[in-house]
Amino acid sequence: MSGTCAMAGRSPHAGTSDLVALGVALRTLRERRGVRQDALDWDAGLGRGYVSAAEVGHLNPAFLTLLTLARTLRAPLAELVDLYARELARIDPQAGHDVPACPTPAALAYAKRMSERSLATQHARKARRARQARG
């Protein structure tokens, strides 16, 4: 992540088991590396207090922010994700069970409609070009 970024606002998902588990995972990884929160904020180019807010599950860090945090801690992102998965399984074993497996019938129907529209659009363009060429 280049430059500094201001601390993001509190996530509408703050306190969810996913964000709490991610926060615990980040704190575990940071503590294993012996790094203070304020030092990680600074070295990762994040706003003051960002790591603290993330560690208590108040923020939903973007993917690139997670990469930056893991890289700043000299850890592979997979290590952070593994810690997250273990913590999530501990605090909320049912997390994610309400999310439908893809593709759902609704998703398939949507994809079919979009494909049909795309085909119709392509045919209309082809017909317009043919009329213009004759024209």
pLDDT given at position 9: 60
For the chain, the structural domain boundaries read 17-91, 100-135
pLDDT given at position 1: 39
Six-digit token pair at 124?
């209309």
pLDDT given at position 8: 52
pTM for this one? 0.71
Domain boundaries 17-91, CATH class: mainly alpha
b (16+ CB within 10 A) / e for 88-114: beeeeeeeeeeeeeeeeeeeeeeeeee
Please state, for a pLDDT cut of 70, what percent of the chain lies above it. 92
